[in-house]
Chain A
Amino acid sequence: MIKIGVPSKGRLMEQTFAWFGARGLAMRRTGAEREYSGAVDGIDGVELVLLAASEVPRELEAGRIDLGVTGTDLVREELADWGRVVAEVAPLGFGQADLILAVPSVWVDVDTLDDLDAAAAAFRAAHGFRLRIATKYHRLVRDFLTENGVADYQLVDSLGATEGTVKNLTAEAIADITSSGETLRANHLKILSDGLILRSEAMLFRARASQADLGPLMARLGL
């Protein structure tokens, strides 16, 4: 039995179903409307597992699913050494979003990471604590800032409404996912010109530890 983990709701689920449907595998939810169970028609030996997109990386790592659909941002954030744990099978062509660093638009002196670093040093000297960057992507943001030699900052955890943290004075800058940038502008923030941390998209992943014979399924999917 091959288990495929798929996002359990919203646009991501619909687009995933459509992607598999276009390749002759009809995915559907079964049971009552609020029950998370599903089925795959058109092929034998494939089981559908409906999960929150954020749970897919861990389930792949644990080996409880053989294949999974989720965003590349979530895999790289959730899994240490992700390339050793899962393999990218196919990009699905939707769910594009960028993980970016943004600062207040009124910071007319800050346009690059170099500026952010210098502003962070001055901020720490003036305020007695390290410049706060609100995000839920701790690993990705920290690795990016380390790689680019930015110091004197701290990450503060933000699980929602991250763009609002600057106005609420709980952070000086943010790192978050954006597709159009509209929410950023509405919250008076601008993206640093070299502040693109990751281009994320929906991807079909394979668990490297999986023992399942994926050959026939891959052939059906044209992969």
Chain B
Amino acid sequence: MTPKAAIRAEAERLHAAFVAAGAVPVEADILLPAETLLDLYGEDIRARAYTTHDPLRGEMMLRPDFTVPVVQAHMSHGAEPARYCYLGEVFRKQDRISDRASEYLQVGFEVFDRTAPEAADAEVFALFQAMLADLALRPATGDIGILMSAVRGLDTTPRRRAALLRHIWRPKRFRALLDRFAGRAPIPAARARLLERLAKGTPEALIAEAGTFVGLRSADEIAARAVALLEDAGAKPISAPEAAMLYDLLTLEAPAAAALLHLRGITPMLPAIAPAVDRFAARLEALSARGVDVSALPFEASHGRTSLEYYDGFVFSFHAADAGLPPVASGGRYDALTAVLGQGASIPAVGGVIRPGLVARLRGLS
């Protein structure tokens, strides 16, 4: 076990480096209103965050990360552009018996800047890489924006595009939907029976037949979805070449410079990704300008697609050789999150966190 004092000292060194890089230190509450977090992450957050009850403010959660309070503070009274850093505890419930900490320090750096998002991406990544250079960590990068733009450009119904986008962070669900929309998976028997029933009568008649009406979900809502299901059953599958391109994109793993060449190669078949690929290219240029070797930098198009995430563009992480350890650092771009929290306003944002406990442990080993 690394002594707590050594971890705190490491955290303060990292924090000072962020300040030296131009960030303004910010503080955040530890007790956060549960409602905001639940709205963002859904019920899954309950498995990860400690929930408690305040007699006056209702359900509260112990800060599971800094992003939400930092974005909220910036949206309510921040000047632009802004660079922030922070240092403090975060709390994560562990559902399995292991040596993973349920309370640990995080040090973070966030950039809110409208002018040149790719330059900001490169600034954050290069800063993290330089600060952790002595630890020989393995970097991983990705770009969820490319996948999202590919889905938005699919030649299929708006409903199918929306369903895929809604599940972009749930790879298993996304894959099942894509298989179905592309006609690669057979229609499940239960769905086939449902369609058969729906085709036999009007939704109104079927609802009346089904018995006593209970619940808040109205007959109109039920009928609307029944109609949508029948429409969807009649929609033509996503074309085989287009689907093949999307499967290719989901599994793309290559050094960043080679990945760019590959993406340029498939852009004529998936023209909707062109702007996202241009942004990827601009980011690689900005990274090169900061001395990052993009011919060796690992890139995976699906990196960062896990639940409880909110990244919608560039994503990155740094890993120790011991695969049992969580990432030493991770981050990415989360423009959409600022729109959700900003009540109408939004600002491009990118940032990341370092776990000083792991840094101290790795430095202690060497």
Contacts and interface: CB of A to CB of B under 8 A. Distances in A.
9 contacts: A80-B95, A106-B212, A106-B222, A109-B229, A114-B191, A122-B224, A145-B43, A149-B172, A188-B212
Given A108-B203, A154-B43, A172-B216, A115 B194 contact: yes
Interface string B246-262: 00000000000000000
Interface string A159-189: 0000000110100100000000000000111
Interface residues of B, number: 42
Contact of A106 (B163, B191, B213, B224): B213
Interface string B210-241: 11111111010110111001000000000000
Interface in A91-128: 104-112, 114-115, 117-119, 121-123, 126-127
A154 B38 CA distance: 9
A123 B225 CA distance: 10
Contacts, number: 119
B97 interface: yes
Interface string B187-198: 010110110011
A105 B210 contact: yes
Contacts of A84: 96-97
B170 interface: yes
Given A109-B198, A111-B191, A149-B167, A172 B217 contact: yes
A31 B225 CA distance: 61
Contacts of B163: 118
A104 B217 contact: yes
B325 interface: no
A142 B173 contact: no
A118 B225 contact: yes
A145 B248 CA distance: 28
Contacts of B188: 112, 114
Most chain A CB neighbours (cut-off 10 Å) among B95, B166, B212, B216: B216
Contacts of B191: 111-112, 114-115
Contacts of B224: 122
B225 A106 contact: no
Given A108-B198, A114-B191, A188-B212, 12 more contacts: A106-B212, A109-B222, A118-B225, A127-B216, A149-B176, A151-B42, A152-B42, A154-B38, A154-B42, A172-B215, A187-B214, A188-B213
A126 B226 CA distance: 16
Nearest to A190: B210
Contacts of A193: 190
B30 to A, nearest CB: 23
A127 B221 CA distance: 11
Contacts of B44: 142, 146
A35 interface: no
B46 interface: yes
Contacts of A205: none
A123 B221 contact: yes
Interface string A7-46: 0000000000000000000000000000000000000000
Main secondary structure of the interface of B (DSSP, over half): helix
Nearest to A131: B217
Given A112-B188, A151-B167, A107 B47 contact: no
A143 to B, nearest CB: 8
Contacts of B226: 108-109
Contacts of B47: 139, 142-143, 146
A112 B206 CA distance: 17
A153 interface: yes
B307 interface: yes
Contacts of B46: 138, 142, 155
A81 interface: yes
Nearest to B46: A142
B307 A146 contact: yes
A130 B43 CA distance: 9
Nearest to A108: B206
Interface string B20-60: 00000000000000000010001110110000000000000
Contacts of B211: 105-106, 188
A108 B170 CA distance: 27
A109 B225 contact: yes
A68 to B, nearest CB: 20
A169 B215 contact: yes
A122 to B, nearest CB: 6
Nearest to A117: B173
Given A109-B203, A126-B221, A80 B214 contact: no
A39 B206 CA distance: 58
Interface in B262-293: none
Given A115-B194, A142-B44, A142-B47, A106 B307 contact: no
A100 B170 CA distance: 23
A69 B193 CA distance: 41
Contacts of A127: 216
A194 to B, nearest CB: 7
